[in-house]
Amino acid sequence: MKTMSEQKDPFKQSIYEYRQSTKALFAAQEAYNVHDPVSNEKYFYAKRDRLWLKRDLHVYEGSSDVDPKMMTMVDESITDSFGSFAAIDNKDNFLARFRRKFWRSWFWRETWTIEDQENNVIGYMRAKGGFFKTLLRKFSLIGDRVDFILLFLRLHYQFFNAENELYAEYSRKFSIRDFYKLEFLDESKMNVDKRAILSICFLLDSAEER
């Protein structure tokens, strides 16, 4: 077992790997772990039920849902197509709201706004790629060979502040199971709590496939 001096602070890392939990394959929920890309140490665990209209996502510091809760992403919408999630920490503090722009996401590229508690836009999440990549993704999601096609149309999001300065990227790696990398490029440009960014990434895969 690692001593406290040997353990890394998970919030001070710049690169994180997101992997689908094997437990989720046998349960009525979506679940993911966040790992250190070098040591493979598990930093966070998140789960979201599949069977309800309002499906909050719960994020824990550690490797399972018996570890201390870090965040709740409160589902404020009926469908993920018009998704809106409020990031609330374990002390009930509001951190940010993530709102999916449905029409822009459908006809141009996947776009979300990042907002404060008064609904002022303080940043954006945008899929990398233009109209044709978006169109191919939409048609592949309603086809029969979804997983195979999506391997070649991998989800790739970029995070910007209100001045359109890039500070993080989240992208799917080439794999059969869901496997993503989140990289913080310049945290000095980030004007939102890092915990909120770490948590919304759990939802991008499921939200964009509906």
Residue 127's DSSP bridge partners are: 157
Angle at CA 32, nearest 5°, toward 70 and 156? 105
Question: Closest Cα partner for 34 from 15, 53, 51?
Answer: 15
Where in the chain are the domains? 14-208
How many C-beta atoms surround the C-beta of residue 158 within 10 A?
Answer: 16
Residue 79 near residue 209 (C-beta atoms within 8 A): no
**pLDDT per 10-residue tile (average), the chain, 210 residues:** 58 93 62 92 89 80 94 83 86 96 68 95 86 55 48 75 97 71 97 96 67
Cα separation of the two ends of the chain: 41
DSSP state of 39: T
pLDDT at 127: 87
Residue 130 to residue 109: CA distance in whole angstroms: 6
Q: Which homologous superfamily does the CATH classification assign to the domain defined by 14-208?
A: LURP1-related (2.40.160.200)
